[in-house]
Structure 1
Amino acid sequence: MRILFFTHSFNSLTQRLFCELSGRGHQLSIEFDIADSVAVEAVERFRPDLIIAPFLKRAIPGAIWSRHCCLIVHPGIVGDRGPSALDWAIQNSVANWGVTVLQAEAEMDAGPVWAAANFSLRAAKKSSIYRNEVTEAAVKAVLTAVERFASQNFVPERMPGQAHAPIKQSDRAIDWQHETTASVLAKLNAADGLPGIAGELFGQPCHLFDAWPEARLKGAPGSLLGRRETAILRATADGAVWLGHVRRTGGLKLPATLAFPEADELPELPLADCWKAPAPTWQDIAYEEAGGVGFLSFEFYNGAMSTAQCRRLGEAFRWATARPTTVIVLRGGGDFWSNGIHLNTIEAADSPADESWANINAIDDLAEAILRCETQLTVAAVGGNAGAGGCFLARAADFVWVRDGAMLNPHYKNMGNLYGSEFWTYLLPPRVGPDGAQAIMRHRLPMTAPEAVRLGFYDACLPGPGFAVDVARRAAELAAAPDIEAQLAAKRAKRAADEATKPLADYRAEELQEMRRNFYGFDPSYHVARYHFVSHSPHSWTPRHLARHRDLDWKVPT
């Protein structure tokens, strides 16, 4: 079928549904929700059999839903209505939630139901639940709805429902003097991503994000107890909560200590045992061992890696290589493995060009440390989404095992035609060929885990359920292999041969020469694209690679 997506943006859920439906042979095109007239024009040009709205912030025009079947993906259980469905569910600590696919009508979320899927609602950030449980449930429900629509013999059922009012900042307000840690976390989790919770730090208004529990430290409720790297610890009525990110009024969302230099006056609260955490706390880099395997995790917010974070992760990796192990697993974070350089901290710098240069060199240093590791086999266990430089940072490992369901965007061009670094010119062509490498770098659409393995870019696609357990088992088997020393010797020999043919320094210099033009050259495309990305500027048009119906050679189907 021809299926047209109406969506606010090409977010992770929309990408996943795009790949799932395209992989089943459907012809898809996308139109961003810019204006009613634009949406009407898209329908006239594409003449879809079905319209799906994976992620909208306002209603589909009546001129469209009255003439075409439009399926809305609603992040709520059957009967739930309202724009704040997931927010309310998380803040109220509901045990079970779901996704409903319903038909658009005049009343929001009140149309007949085509499909639904439920899940257990864990205590976690809204952004994390959306990327994981909501996305998996939405895929299941949408695929079912599309099959039912194609069968032409399914009659959707109208269900009774209850409309919830949009959640307001007054509903989210935190009373730090009297609320428990559990209550504070539920509110902050429900607001994570957008819009955050309005509050203040150091007597100045801001929005709070990225909360983490603290199991041991306490203080006077509401007081600021200290800092650790980029996070600030604030006391609750019965404990404390780490605040990882904030957005000052009129500013960008930034690591808390970067947004508020006043945090330097707070006492530093380091971990007692380097990279190992004894109890729940805020920790963006963590290490643990099991047998001959070291597991290095890095939980960087939204997968962005600042200059300082790249340097600290490089320090942790080099420390891990000195441990008595034969395998190191780079686990990334729960929602993202890595999305490359940190565009928000770059935008906030006095010189974004200089900070871009520092950041790309820092991530290149990390990639080179992984490539030059001679004492362990390295595994990138990509359990979360990855994009741009993060995809190639993973490829610097000897093996890349990716979770089925993770979305990959191994291209840079959407960010103002960036050339890219992280040694992609060394890592990619030998695996997919020169033509395949150019195709991947020009391709601006997302890649699924099975596709990455099929192309030869990554090595294995592992099932989503039990991914961490499967990774640990495979890594243990690798470490216990009788020929492990032979594998390490072969790795050292290959690296020496590659270095003799063309040194890593040459690949890096060539890539950075192109990146220097992006950062300091006459063409400002990268700086413009970065500004619009971090500022969440409204879309003025749908990119051509998404809106197939707007190609000059597009022919209206007969």
Structure 2
Amino acid sequence: MSLRILLLCHSFNSLSQRLFAELRARGHTLSVELDIADSVTEEAVALARPDLVLAPFLKRRIPAAVWQRVPCFVVHPGPPGDQGPSALDWAVRNREAQWGVTVLQADGAFDAGPVWAHARFPMRAANKGSLYRREVTRAALQATLEAVERFASGERVAPAERFAAGPPQGESAPEGLGAAAPDVPAHVWTAPSGVDSGNALLSDPRSGGVWGRGWKAVMKQADRAIDWSRDDTATVMARLRCADGQPGVRDALWGQACYLGDAHQASDATLAEFAEREPGELLAVRDGALLRRTVDGGVWIGQARRADPPGTAPGQGHFKQVAAELFAPQAAALPQRPVPLERTDDEWAELRYTEHGPEGARVGCLRFDFCNGAMGTGRCERLRAALLAVRQRPTQVLLLMGGEGFFSNGIDLNRIEAAAHRPGDSAADESWRNIQAMDDVALAVLETTDRLTVSVMRGNAGAGGVFLALAADQVWAHDSVVLNPHYKNMGNLYGSEYWTYLLPRRLGEAGARDLMAGRLPLRAADAQRMGLIDACDDGPREGLEERVLARALALAGSYNRPEQVAAKQARRAADEAQCPLARYREQELARMHRNFYGFDPSYHVARHHFVHKLPHAWTPRHLATHR
């Protein structure tokens, strides 16, 4: 049975987009309402008349007037029995071995209604954002599809067998809890007085057993705080990882209060130079990250945000930036410690290059992993330089392996916003520099005509990042990837990266117009079906890199590879004769110039709202089809 589903979310984030696209693909009718105010939500329900409200990402409770009127499923990033808004933060900080996602029905209790489905997964040692986009999203999809399928089949009561799978590893379920005792809901338990609710296993007062992790308070900065004089690297990494993205760990750099994020463990080889330095000291700079000593090692800190003064109004505060750029005068006094593209696996940097296979059938792999997929001017320049360097290597196939979380999201809006506050600079000027640098990277890929090139999407891609991928001969993606191949959501931005050349040659003129006007997230499987990408890997996310490499080695050694390269060169020459790449770029940038410098401020307004995370005033009409 097809359902009318209203997706209610704080923002249309990566999880919300994935669920939206997957449920639509299964024949359900979806509309989206951003959680702005109770009255707006109530109005949306009245207009949409949904069979089901699905809430994958909320920061407030669903109003009683809604969940009493229509069934509401909440997607909670914790296993059954876990409650509270900082569930994943606690799991990362406490280095849980297993975690999960629960789909429960809203009933007035916070994260504690009847459970419709749940899924578990092993935890990786990774940033919260990486876990959210990968394991949490995968488990949420599994549990949500199960819950929606049950609801669509006519079930209206959460199944009693929801606890049949057993408690989390290492715990025991309360006696009698399960199919035989559906009247013992997890939400009736409360944290014992005086017990740390971040770690407590909650007891069922009627059985003495334990289940889940119960209510966890909002994680405070005191729970994330780092003592640089005492904490080892593992502890520091866990604290930084659990605050990744938002809110960051409150700390100080050069005596200035700020929030830290985007952490990477430093190698022993790098730290050998600084063995005599004191814990907490700032030691060096690499790719905009700051190296800071711990008691037994060190960490690279990639992002920082100055602490807002008390009483700062929304939209007027500070925002995340590359750490060494935020503290540019101070960081300039630190030594730069770049590393070669080819190096050991434990040596962190944003760019890495490896080669594989025999002579004559060799594959080069250029990895670029930029935080949140943001490609500012400097990152684009370094990526282009790396591309030009690896083009000198005797390889037959070149893989462009984007980041694990994001292939690329195009220009760096935070860095552009920062330019608006620099004397003698402007957001328009930095936007112009950034888009030119993005175009230069895409051009370097397009001009690599002596071998086959493949873009590999391990993570999501948006805006210019999609078209950077399309500059390669082939695009391969994992089926968990969601694409947003359009620019208009950022204040009617026109876009560049040679998209007016790259998109029609895959979809035709009409198909290109429809895709750019649609402004909706696109599953990798659907992108392959329409011809936007060439291959979609539907195997487990674990092992993707190995499967991609095996496929690339087969391509490099294929009997007709020389003919493929010759055909590529002939097509590029014919296309250039018909309309030079320089003309596409000129025409695109003429439109972009109006976006940046013209009378319509839509792009600058949208960018400012995005960077400062201002609350939404309304839901965009392409999402809120019920309006």
**Separation in 1, partners of 2:150, 2:83:** 23
CA contact (8 A) 1:377 1:398 kept: yes
Bigger CA drift: 64-73 or 381-390?
64-73
CA contact (8 A) 2:397 2:452 kept: yes
Q: 1:56 is matched with which residue: 58, 67, 70?
A: 58
- Secondary structure in structure 2 of the residue aligned to 1:537: coil
Superposed counterparts of 1:73-472, under 5 Å:
73-153=75-155, 155-156=157-158, 157=160, 159-160=185-186, 162-216=214-268, 217=271, 218=275, 219-249=277-307, 250-261=317-328, 262-271=330-339, 274-291=340-357, 292-349=362-419, 350-465=425-540, 466-472=543-549
Bigger CA drift: 415-424 or 149-158?
149-158
CA contact (8 A) 1:206 1:248 kept: yes
> Structure 1 464/253 Cα, relative in aligned 2: closer, same or farther at 3 Å?
farther
State the shift of 1:269 in Å.
1.4
> Structure 1 279/428 Cα, relative in aligned 2: closer, same or farther at 3 Å?
closer
Give the TM-score normalised by structure 1: 0.97
- Secondary structure in structure 2 of the residue aligned to 1:549: coil
Bigger CA drift: 456-465 or 362-371?
456-465
- Secondary structure in structure 1 of the residue aligned to 2:626: helix
CA contact (8 A) 1:208 1:246 kept: yes
Task: Name the structure 2 match of 1:44.
Answer: 46
**Separation in 2, partners of 1:181, 1:173:** 13
Tell me which amino acid in the other structure corresponds to 1:267.
P
State the shift of 1:464 in Å.
4.5
**1:475 partnered with 2:552:** yes
**Separation in 2, partners of 1:280, 1:139:** 32
Task: Name the structure 2 match of 1:534.
Answer: 611
Tell me which amino acid in the other structure corresponds to 2:336.
E
State the shift of 1:393 in Å.
0.4
CA contact (8 A) 1:405 1:464 kept: no
Tell me which amino acid in the other structure corresponds to 2:415.
T
Task: Name the structure 2 match of 1:495.
Answer: 572
CA contact (8 A) 2:368 2:403 kept: yes
State the shift of 1:467 in Å.
2.1
Structure 2 gap ranges (5+): 161-183, 188-213, 308-316, 420-424
Q: Deviations over 1:383-435 (max 9, x none)?
A: 10000000000000001011101010000000011111111111111211111
Q: Deviations over 1:306-358 (max 9, x none)?
A: 01110110000111110011110000111000000111101101311111111
CA contact (8 A) 2:399 2:456 kept: yes
**Separation in 1, partners of 2:234, 2:392:** 39
Task: Name the structure 2 match of 1:484.
Answer: 561
CA contact (8 A) 1:360 1:421 kept: yes
State the shift of 1:485 in Å.
2.2
Task: Name the structure 1 match of 2:211.
Answer: none
**Separation in 1, partners of 2:563, 2:149:** 51
Tell me which amino acid in the other structure corresponds to 1:548.
T
**1:13 partnered with 2:15:** yes
CA contact (8 A) 2:413 2:607 kept: yes
Tell me which amino acid in the other structure corresponds to 2:81.
G
CA contact (8 A) 2:52 2:71 kept: yes
CA contact (8 A) 1:100 1:116 kept: yes
Taking only the aligned residue pairs, the percentage that are identical comes to 57
State the shift of 1:75 in Å.
0.1
Tell me which amino acid in the other structure corresponds to 2:223.
D
State the shift of 1:279 in Å.
4.5
Q: Deviations over 1:226-252 (max 9, x none)?
A: 111300000011000000000012322
CA contact (8 A) 1:243 1:256 kept: yes
CA contact (8 A) 1:53 1:71 kept: yes
- Secondary structure in structure 2 of the residue aligned to 1:548: coil
**Separation in 2, partners of 1:371, 1:270:** 28
**Separation in 2, partners of 1:270, 1:106:** 54
Tell me which amino acid in the other structure corresponds to 1:535.
H
Tell me which amino acid in the other structure corresponds to 1:342.
D
- Secondary structure in structure 1 of the residue aligned to 2:117: strand
Tell me which amino acid in the other structure corresponds to 1:24.
R
State the shift of 1:486 in Å.
2.4
Superposed counterparts of 1:505-524, under 5 Å:
505-524=582-601
**Separation in 2, partners of 1:192, 1:545:** 30
Tell me which amino acid in the other structure corresponds to 1:378.
T
**Separation in 2, partners of 1:143, 1:378:** 36
CA contact (8 A) 2:107 2:113 kept: yes
- Secondary structure in structure 1 of the residue aligned to 2:332: helix
Tell me which amino acid in the other structure corresponds to 2:552.
A
Structure 1 gap ranges (5+): 551-558
**Separation in 2, partners of 1:190, 1:230:** 21
CA contact (8 A) 1:78 1:159 kept: no
Task: Name the structure 1 match of 2:202.
Answer: none
CA contact (8 A) 2:267 2:348 kept: no
Q: How many residues align?
A: 548
**Separation in 2, partners of 1:486, 1:155:** 61
**Separation in 2, partners of 1:246, 1:527:** 23
State the shift of 1:374 in Å.
2.1
State the shift of 1:44 in Å.
1.0
CA contact (8 A) 2:428 2:597 kept: yes
**Separation in 2, partners of 1:106, 1:90:** 27
CA contact (8 A) 2:36 2:618 kept: yes
State the shift of 1:490 in Å.
1.9
Tell me which amino acid in the other structure corresponds to 1:160.
A
**Separation in 1, partners of 2:305, 2:563:** 51
**Separation in 2, partners of 1:8, 1:353:** 29
Give the TM-score normalised by structure 2: 0.86
**Separation in 2, partners of 1:31, 1:464:** 33
- Secondary structure in structure 2 of the residue aligned to 1:265: coil
**Separation in 2, partners of 1:61, 1:531:** 30
Task: Name the structure 2 match of 1:554.
Answer: none
State the shift of 1:225 in Å.
1.1
CA contact (8 A) 2:353 2:367 kept: yes
